[in-house]
Chain A
């Protein structure tokens, strides 16, 4: 991929501690930061194109069902199902349908797909082309969790490739969570789309992930790199992870939907591709 270095490479922390870096970036426009590592991954290890109508490929995707504990730890309001009403492939896209309905004691239904035990990989380029839902209280996410079942969160590690609050249609965030830097202390950066928004068309959300770095990009814009220097704890990302895609409703991150939130909502996923 050819990235436009629209945002200065590195975290804010790096920029503020290295005046030299800023000077370099300003004077050598569009060149690669010396501190950044970019590796190009071309070997396709997973290609989910969602071209066949029906349920997603069960050899790749499993489901989280229900409300987890305490709304998946975030006071989320939805009940996840594997019903075709909530998750199906149609017109060449995977559709997450978020419905306002009374179901098993919850007020909303949605879906959460994950490749746990089915597809796990260490390092690589992981990207998906997605059109987001919109509205107060929607919380779509494309993210990864460490596959090591012997440790628990946050020690296991979490890479959020894309998260969005439905009430912020031009903003997405990329984050990592690990021991000593999790929940609101996660290492995160937002990316704002100019003169466009994420709910009106498809955009590519991805990471390029290697030993001791994760680069975040949206479309052709690389907007952040996170390295062990940026995290305030142990770097737990040199191990296999699996992929999760979901749309939550409400919860601590976006807050609850209100009377302006339009239901049903849909998240459309054109593809998920992983390269090594």
Chain B
């Protein structure tokens, strides 16, 4: 903020000059000073005392200067604002607040007025008052309707309710960016609050004057937006000011259903119906919100996939990728509206008047090459018609990364009424069978059914367990002295005769692989595989545990069987013993460290001549399993 200080010091210097020139004003004899000063002047022939310039953090800091050449009516000075061109490294736009150090009482005025002109005819994005980098409690502005010409013209910004401005600090603020790539300059002069007496016919509005009906739930919160007030000026023209919530008094017709606070934030507390309305300075605001609370909200099932294996488009469980929009409002044929809501912190998409709607996530596109499924949770809030059909299309934008260009690919799936449940969530995991999935950019929902107008959507994400581990198994920490290792980079290994006996399941393929720079064994299509140390059986009688790290994208049950050849140290002979331990539902897509007490191998009566180790995977001869760090320890 160094630049800000520099600019402030310039203004202070200017103010000092003005004071020396004797432009300060005496309080008239009959004025009674009470409360804050009733000074409406902002910039007449220079700054009114006590005013400071604070540019917006990301704006062009040097945008504002005091101009002594181009002024209104030949006055001593005017405010000049320079809007940068697109790409200006000093700032993308021009914008600032002009704030007094202590408040002023503006309650006897009815408008902020100023003369202005531009170096060319442009429309200013925002001009107003009440922004103080604090609460901005009584902020008001005209947005997008103040059209500057190249001649000086007077502009009027009515105060929504002057009685509120008894200690206002935000005297003036503005924001204006380049248009068509280029900046320009504009000037303000004779900037002040005035009592015009002709600012009349106040017409406040909430929700932009519309009467809306919205379904909701206990715990949901929403805000009343679209807050404006329209006045008629002496010219006969209407002017609409955007007004902060604190100008309004909000009310809920049924506070037991929902309450609304002074900032227009609604909290729903029970089932029922309430109507939210507002007044401004005693005048009823146009527009209302009829809230139909359906009671408790059934949250969508919380996803359980490991976040490492998920690319999320819309979910509160995961971090979502950048999404362009959840509703593109595609013209001219789309009717679908969005009435999204938040219940107890859970964001839910709510599509109404549904014919079709799209979610775009193309900046950047999503690389789902490691993903196998698309997940959707769908809730049908209204009567589920037997003819309901919800078609979901997933589109890949191809190598060019943009829609079209002849390299896009699509996949679609259609959910029908029997897939869905009225008044409940249904969860879907759709296989990503799309031709390309490394540049996914769009999901389209289409209504191909009858009497289907509304659904909620949550937990839209792609997921998939990778087919091979991305990182090495954890390095064992057991001291080498306590270990008899068959396979580990951490230890010296004993001789293993074979990692796949010829009596293993026919489909099962064994290979030595490297994972993240570390050796591992991979069994593709594992049914069962035999591993043998018959030439030198292992005496694990002093060991307490069998250790094995496994990694599989798809195994649902993993078994390990140890066989001891007994005192004869040979297969058969009546002294062999064995035991098989089964591990159900090991986590997929991550290294799972099995560290099994040898005492768990109940039938393994001998542990001095271990010779065979059999690994079994379910589903049989389908699953792939990587193993590492196979050893005994105590």
With contact pairs A168-B236, A169-B232 given, residues A199 and B200 touching in the complex (Cβ less than 8 Å): yes
Which residue of A has the minimal Cβ distance to B236? A167
Interface string of A202-231 (1 = CB under 8 A from B): 000000000000000000000000000000
Q: Which residues of A, 133-158, contact B by the 8 Å Cβ criterion?
A: 134-136
CA of A262 to CA of B231, assembled, Å: 12
CA of A134 to CA of B236, assembled, Å: 8
CA of A167 to CA of B238, assembled, Å: 10
Report if B213 contacts A (CB, 8 A): no
Minimum C-beta distance from B110 to chain A (A): 10
Report if A116 contacts B (CB, 8 A): no
Contacts of B198 in A (CB 8 A): 169-170, 195-197
- Chain A binding site: helix, strand, loop or mixed by DSSP? loop
Report if A17 contacts B (CB, 8 A): no
**B195 x A195 contact (CB < 8 A):** yes
**B201 x A134 contact (CB < 8 A):** yes
Q: Which residues of A, 172-214, contact B by the 8 Å Cβ criterion?
A: 194-197, 199-200
**B200 x A200 contact (CB < 8 A):** yes
Q: How many A-B residue pairs have CB under 8 A?
A: 35
Report if A260 contacts B (CB, 8 A): yes
CA of A161 to CA of B276, assembled, Å: 46
Report, nearest first, the 3 A-B pairs whose CB atoms are least far apart. Answer: A195-B197, A167-B236, A200-B200
Which residue of B has the minimal Cβ distance to A200? B200
Report if B196 contacts A (CB, 8 A): yes
Interface string of A98-139 (1 = CB under 8 A from B): 000000000000000000000000000000000000111000
Q: Which residues of B, 530-565, contact A by the 8 Å Cβ criterion?
A: none
Interface size class of A (residues with CB under 8 A): 10 to 19
Which residue of B has the minimal Cβ distance to A194? B197
Interface size class of B (residues with CB under 8 A): 10 to 19
Identify 20 residue pairs between A and B in the complex whose beta-carbon atoms are under 8 Å apart, listed by A's number. A134-B200, A134-B232, A135-B232, A136-B236, A165-B236, A166-B236, A167-B236, A168-B236, A169-B198, A169-B200, A169-B232, A195-B197, A196-B197, A196-B198, A197-B197, A197-B200, A197-B234, A199-B232, A200-B201, A260-B238
Contacts of A262 in B (CB 8 A): 201, 203
CA of A167 to CA of B233, assembled, Å: 10
Contacts of A136 in B (CB 8 A): 236
Contacts of B232 in A (CB 8 A): 134-135, 169, 199
Which residue of B has the minimal Cβ distance to A201? B200
Contacts of B236 in A (CB 8 A): 136, 165-169
Which residue of A has the minimal Cβ distance to B195? A195
Contacts of A134 in B (CB 8 A): 200-201, 232
Contacts of A260 in B (CB 8 A): 238
CA of A19 to CA of B331, assembled, Å: 68
Known: A195-B196, A197-B198; 20 extra A-B contacts, CB below 8 A, are A134-B232, A136-B236, A165-B236, A166-B236, A167-B236, A169-B200, A169-B232, A169-B234, A170-B198, A170-B234, A194-B197, A195-B197, A196-B197, A196-B198, A197-B234, A199-B201, A199-B232, A260-B238, A262-B201, A262-B203
Which residue of B has the minimal Cβ distance to A170? B234
- Chain B binding site: helix, strand, loop or mixed by DSSP? loop
Which residue of A has the minimal Cβ distance to B233? A169
CA of A136 to CA of B200, assembled, Å: 15
Q: Which residues of B contact A (CB under 8 A)?
A: 195-198, 200-201, 203, 232, 234, 236, 238
Minimum C-beta distance from B78 to chain A (A): 25
CA of A169 to CA of B232, assembled, Å: 9
Contacts of A169 in B (CB 8 A): 198, 200, 232, 234, 236
Minimum C-beta distance from B246 to chain A (A): 25
CA of A116 to CA of B200, assembled, Å: 36
Minimum C-beta distance from A208 to chain B (A): 27
CA of A200 to CA of B200, assembled, Å: 7
Minimum C-beta distance from A195 to chain B (A): 4
Contacts of A196 in B (CB 8 A): 197-198
CA of A135 to CA of B232, assembled, Å: 9
Q: Which of A136, A167, A197 has the most CB of B within 10 A?
A: A197
Which residue of B has the minimal Cβ distance to A261? B238
Minimum C-beta distance from B202 to chain A (A): 10
Which residue of A has the minimal Cβ distance to B196? A195
CA of A239 to CA of B234, assembled, Å: 38
Q: Which of A136, A168, A170 has the most CB of B within 10 A?
A: A170
Which residue of B has the minimal Cβ distance to A196? B197
CA of A262 to CA of B203, assembled, Å: 10
Minimum C-beta distance from B108 to chain A (A): 13
Q: Which of B195, B196, B201 has the most CB of A within 10 A?
A: B201
Minimum C-beta distance from B40 to chain A (A): 15
Contacts of B238 in A (CB 8 A): 260
Contacts of A167 in B (CB 8 A): 236
Contacts of B196 in A (CB 8 A): 195
Contacts of B195 in A (CB 8 A): 195
Minimum C-beta distance from A221 to chain B (A): 16
CA of A136 to CA of B232, assembled, Å: 11
CA of A165 to CA of B195, assembled, Å: 24
Minimum C-beta distance from A84 to chain B (A): 24
CA of A262 to CA of B209, assembled, Å: 14
Contacts of B234 in A (CB 8 A): 169-170, 197
CA of A200 to CA of B110, assembled, Å: 14
Contacts of B200 in A (CB 8 A): 134, 169, 197, 199-200
Contacts of B201 in A (CB 8 A): 134, 199-200, 262
Contacts of A166 in B (CB 8 A): 236
Minimum C-beta distance from B475 to chain A (A): 76
Minimum C-beta distance from B441 to chain A (A): 41
Minimum C-beta distance from B93 to chain A (A): 31
Minimum C-beta distance from B208 to chain A (A): 15
CA of A166 to CA of B203, assembled, Å: 17
Minimum C-beta distance from A138 to chain B (A): 10
CA of A167 to CA of B201, assembled, Å: 12
Which residue of A has the minimal Cβ distance to B200? A200
Minimum C-beta distance from B95 to chain A (A): 30
CA of A154 to CA of B238, assembled, Å: 37
CA of A136 to CA of B201, assembled, Å: 13
Contacts of A170 in B (CB 8 A): 198, 234
Interface string of A226-263 (1 = CB under 8 A from B): 00000000000000000000000000000000001010
